[in-house]
Structure 1
Amino acid sequence: MSKYFFSALWALVCLLVISCSPVKVMNHQAAPDFNLSRYRTFGFMDVTAGNSDSANVRVPAEQIAVIQREIANQLERRGLTQSTSNPDLLVNVGVVVLEKNQTRQTNFRTDAPYYTGQRRYSWRSQEVVVGQYKEGTISVHLVDNAQNTLVWSAEAESVVPEKQEKLQERIAEGVAQLFSSLP
């Protein structure tokens, strides 16, 4: 087999793995003149957690710390250094976790026999709850500290795993995919 065949096969496998990822990156955009190499240091804005909606799930401080650590790793890989005193780039992190219902649609066949009973039963198609899960969204905004302007933003969402080990893996995977859209 040729070297090109194996290269093409490897590219196809990578594409399939990426397309089957449980993390979905969306709404990523950069300012027209954004260039990450202009910045040397970064720092995190204060994270304030609040539950304004009763459907929101409280995110523990430990998970926020894991998210910030993964973001710091991604920025450090790109040559930036974390700083607490007047950083060039401010990182704003938003996390929302919602409790969702998994449903299925009941469907009655159109060729089913029609039945009229004494008590006037009504048969309707409806959605039936079959399970519950949590869906999490991480949004990251990079802000130029000197000009106080947004230079890059992106969001990633995924189903939140129940097990702690899987959750940390999903956070790492989600942040890595989120930063893959960074120019």
Structure 2
Amino acid sequence: MQMYSVRIRPDVGSLVKAMDRWLLIAASFFITAEVFTVVALVSPNWITSSDDSGSCMLGLVMTCKGSGNYLECHRETSLSLYWTTCLILIIVGMVGILVTFCVLITALWKRRTEVGSIVKWISFFSTISFCFAALVFPIGFVDDEIGGDPYYLPGRQRIGYAYICFVLSILFSVLGHVFINKICFPIQSVN
């Protein structure tokens, strides 16, 4: 009985197309995370409250106060230490996500399938920066304007849609990071 050994050689063209697809998916997740972060950052709707005296919306860069249909908005100039830290962490994460997105698009444009481990680490630290910002933000509830405790809002206050957008941006950056790992460490073929 004769045994034949057959060596299957993968089609390089199909591997490149598959890697292009992974690059495009990862870049889509990262740009979606960036958009959600920008929407969350410019919105004053991180913490909302309304009572008989009027309504208030607090954000990291803008605050709106007023009564009825009239709200007066102004740029926030005096953030607490916790919210300043949160803002810095978000900006660092946004820059990292933007760099990751640009490298992915460049790799797709120049038809390079290997993006290197540097992109993996940039996306990892950007995602970690976002996660730390999400953990630091609720510590700032001790601010005099809110009057709560760390991680506890008083009954008249609630989380606004901007914080939810920011949490969604964390989700999309994690998904992008998962796809980056798929690109950087593809399944090795057995020789």
The TM-score range, normalised by the shorter chain, is: under 0.3
Structure 1 length as normaliser, TM-score? 0.24
More strand by share: 1
More helix by share: 2
